[in-house]
Amino acid sequence: MLLAALSTPLYADPASTAIPIAPAADAEFIFARVAFTTNQLRGGNRRSSLWRTDYPDAEHHFLGGVRRLTRVDADPDGHVLTLSSDEVFDYPWLYAVEVGGWHLDLDEARRLREYLLRGGFLMVDDFHGSLEWSGFMSTLSRVFPDRPVRDIPDDDPVLHVFYDLDQRIQIPGIMPLRSGRTWEQDGFEPHWRGVYDDDGRLMLAINFNMDMGDAWEHADWPEYPEPMTALAYRFGINYLLYAMTH
């Protein structure tokens, strides 16, 4: 479970001058965010920074919660990588955001499939509505053309590995909340979905019509409802511990 020291150069978004901090080599857990290019639905621009949404505040707040609420020795800063890098196999957990606009080429899709089938875990977050679901699935079909997306059942171990998660309320972004609603586009209903391996292990956790990253990022904002933030932390911690133990 301890991660190997990393020597691969960090991924730097050409659209930004911000360089991610190198992760602590001796940390038990490192939050690894996936950097990707965008699909034609969202403009298809290699300088796009959709993947940077809520970065780095979301992971800073979430990892602080992990350190307070569990015994996991979590690196406080996290890390950014691309799927084309061999270092992807050093991490039991990956996180990708705004995946309604992600694009993986055939090599990246192959690499992600190999990573997941070898025991890795990916959590995707912050995409909404039928159009973004279509964009997400257009890339996921490259990764797993033969595996269905299923609703996560109430008795799935991922919902009980640490917290018993029997509450399914929509976890919104801060902007719709300011407009008095919890949904974006036509994403009225939240969905917890996933892709499983042949042994029934959850490999890919899909938070659809939700924005857990915003709930983490704005955990200390009085205007963001505490019950939603608390639930987002519980889901994130369950996913993390499931990834490290399954």
Residue 19: the pLDDT is 44
**How do beta strands 102-103 and 37-38 pair?**
antiparallel
**How do beta strands 202-208 and 32-34 pair?**
unpaired
Residue 9: the pLDDT is 32
Backbone torsions φ then ψ of 86, nearest 5 degrees: -65, -20
Q: Tally Cβ neighbours within 10 Å of residue 134.
A: 12
For domain 32-245, the question of CATH label 3.40.50.12140 is answered with yes
Residue 47: the pLDDT is 45
- Delimit the domains of the chain by residue range: 32-245
Check if the beta carbon of residue 151 is closer than 8 Å to that of residue 191.
Answer: yes
Residue 39: the pLDDT is 72
Residue 24: the pLDDT is 62
Treating both helix axes as pointing N-terminal to C-terminal, what angle do 57-69 and 226-245 enclose, rounded to 10 degrees? 70
- The H or E element containing residue 79 is strand 79-81
Treating both helix axes as pointing N-terminal to C-terminal, what angle do 129-143 and 106-117 enclose, rounded to 10 degrees? 80
Q: Tally Cβ neighbours within 10 Å of residue 55.
A: 22
Which residue do the tokens 């996180």 mark?
95
Consecutive 10-residue runs of the chain (246 residues): their mean pLDDT? 29 40 74 88 58 95 96 94 94 96 95 98 98 96 97 97 94 93 95 98 98 96 94 97 94
Residues 6+ apart with CB under 8 A from 105: none
Q: How many CA atoms lie within 13 A of 126 on its CB side?
A: 25
The Cα–Cα gap between 180 and 132 comes to: 22
The Cα–Cα gap between 169 and 82 comes to: 32
Q: Residue 90, SS3?
A: helix
The model carries a pTM of 0.88
Residue 87: the pLDDT is 92
The Cα–Cα gap between 122 and 130 comes to: 21
